[in-house]
Structure 1
Amino acid sequence: MSFLIAIVSLLGTIAIFYTSKMFYKKYQNEWLTPILITPLVIIIILLLTGTSYKSYVAGTGILSNLLGPATVAFAVPIYRNFNLLKKHAFEIFLSIAVGSAVAITSSFTIAVVIGLNNELVHSLVPRSVTTPIAMDISNMIGGSPTLTAVFVMVTGILGSLIAPLVIKVCRFQRPSSRGLLLGMGAHGAGTSKAFEFGELEGTFASLAMIVAALISIVLSTTFFPAFEHLVVNILLP
């Protein structure tokens, strides 16, 4: 029986994703994005059928394992446009470094101010990094990798929904601006959205996501401990 549930979970998840993708392409509504609709539909089905998450993930774990190779695959468009990226290397690195620092400090400060416990605080800090690396960072700084994965998913979904509005309101026309915004603000989900704008946007988003992950690893082991000490022991004794 458990084997049957696992097979149905895997095939059902794939079917739900491609169905939602079809509707998204047809109606072009941001709120119909598969990244949002697929998990909502799956949650509703699991609740209605009384299927446990443990039974569900037993069949769909293979999809999670594909996240790593999918992240590595972003290197392809980067390679194709390497000369363009090299030309803007300083601007890219500086903007992503600032974005990563802001993401870490704002997440930590807000979490502390609203009174979250220590585990939640440290789980929230790496929310602006792609899931596999965010979970590793969370484990390094004393958070819960599972909670971090949830925070990353929520950040990615909300970022991919809000970013197009920001781009429209701020009238960002350059592919680099659009791509870096989406890759830094919404990592994997944002990169997927960036490719809907164009290949260059997707390329810059891919680079932003990868560079942000690398910078965040460094900041989490150097800058963050010092910042945490400053806030907890000096500013908020």
Structure 2
Amino acid sequence: MTSASLLHSPLAAGLFWSAATVALYCAARRVHRLRPSWWTSPLALAPILIVGLAVALHAGYGEYNQGTRWLLTMLGPVTVAFALPIFEQREMIRRHWPVLAVGVVAGSVIAMLTAWGLASLLGLSESVRLSLMPRSVSTPFAMTVSGDIGGVPDLTAVFVVLTGVFGAALGEILLHVLPLRTSLARGALFGMGAHGAGVAQARQVGGEEGAIASLVMILAGLCNVLAAPFIAFLIH
């Protein structure tokens, strides 16, 4: 039985996929509360559940995307809301702004260059390479940057999720390998390397680590958005 036989109109399909997305995300959050780990993070688990449902119903990405487009539209207000954590952490920014500035700029440049370089070595198309470049910032910022430089925002969102999941897992390993003794270093590791998923993982390490990870994630996103026109000029 296909999803088309179950959902006879675009409105019904939109309501179904929107409700399914919200319900599966809430289910993933519940699982994460019961079994907190990087692999039970809603960022990792919710997409797997949604893909499983889509496969079971023989639904395509276009059908799902059409029904949940309003969720992507909400990313605009979410981006504006990131100003609140920056205001709340203004004292921390004043104390550590040289380290934060150098770390965010260096991390952003390295992330973009390595993504472009590895994609080029693998012979991927230009649109995929451009979509990969902003993979290391949170979804609202990444999709904006991707559109500005000529990438595919929807494809970038997938790369962002994969980066967050694997980055959170790798960050947990690196904490036991690298001599990161301060909360600033540990939090920055997760915020720069795994954005939203990294922030969730950093909060399990400690409250200050979580706050720093959140701040670094937001500053990295702002850095990428502001630099996007310059990046696009260099590429094209």
TM-score scaled by length of structure 2: 0.83
Partner of residue 214, structure 1: 222
Instruction: Tell me, yes or no, if structure 1 residue 133 matches structure 2 residue 141.
Output: yes
In structure 2, the residue corresponding to 1:143 is in which secondary structure? Answer: coil
**Counterparts of 1:148-167 in structure 2 under 5 Å?**
148-167=156-175
| Deviates further, 54-63 or 154-163 | 54-63
Distance 2:12 2:24 in 1: 18
Task: Quote how far apart the aligned CAs of 1:73 are.
Answer: 3.3
Gaps of at least 5 residues in structure 1 are 230-237
Identical positions, percent: 34
Number of residue pairs matched by the alignment: 228
Q: Structure 1 residue 220: deviation in Å? A: 4.2
| Structure 1 equivalent of residue 57 of structure 2 | 49
Looking at structure 2, the residues matched to 55 and 114 of structure 1 have their Cα atoms a distance apart, in angstroms, of 30
Structure 2: gaps (5+ residues): 1-7
SS where residue 106 of structure 2 aligns?
helix
Following TM superposition, by how much is the alpha carbon of 1:42 offset from its aligned partner in structure 2, in angstroms? 0.9
2:73 corresponds to which residue?
A: 65
- The whole-number CA distance in structure 2 between the counterparts of 1:131 and 1:75 is 16
Does residue 27 of structure 2 align to residue 19 of structure 1? yes
The alpha carbon displacement at 1:87 in A equals 0.3
Q: How does 1:113-124 map to 2 (within 5 A)?
A: 113-124=121-132
- Pick closer, same or farther for the CA change 1:181–1:23 going to 2, 3 Å: same
Aligned equivalent of 1:142, options 147, 150, 154:
150
Instruction: Provide closer, same or farther for how the CA distance between residues 215 and 77 of structure 1 changes in structure 2, counting only shifts above 3 A.
Output: closer
Distance 1:217 1:156, change over 3 A: same
CA distance in 2, matches of 1:221, 1:70: 22
1:175 aligns with 2:162: no
Q: For each residue in 1:17-49, what CA deviation from the matched residue of structure 2 results, as whole angstroms up to 9, or x when unmatched?
A: 222222222122332222111111111111111
**Alpha carbons of 1:196 and 1:72: their partners in 2 closer, same or farther (altered >3 Å)?**
farther
Q: Encode CA deviations 1:104-147: one digit per residue, 9 max, x unaligned.
A: 11111111122122222222222212223323322333322222
Q: CA deviation at 1:223?
A: 6.1
Q: Which runs of 4+ in 1 moved over 6 A?
A: none
Shift of 1:155: 1.2
Conserved? CA contact 2:38–2:197, under 8 Å: no
Residues 75 and 206 in structure 1, CA contact (< 8 A), matched pair in contact too: no
Q: Secondary structure at the match of 2:190?
A: helix
Distance 2:32 2:82 in 1: 23
Shifted more, 217-226 versus 57-66: the winner is: 217-226
Closer, same or farther: CA 114–17 of 1 in aligned 2, 3 Å = same
Aligned with residue 110 of structure 2, among 97, 102, 110: 102
**Once superposed, what is the RMSD of the aligned Cα atoms?**
2.5
CA contact (8 A) 1:78 1:203 kept: no
Stretch moving more, 12-21 or 193-202: 193-202
Residue range with higher mean Cα deviation, 48-57 or 85-94: 48-57
Contact 1:20/1:32 (8 A) holds in 2: yes
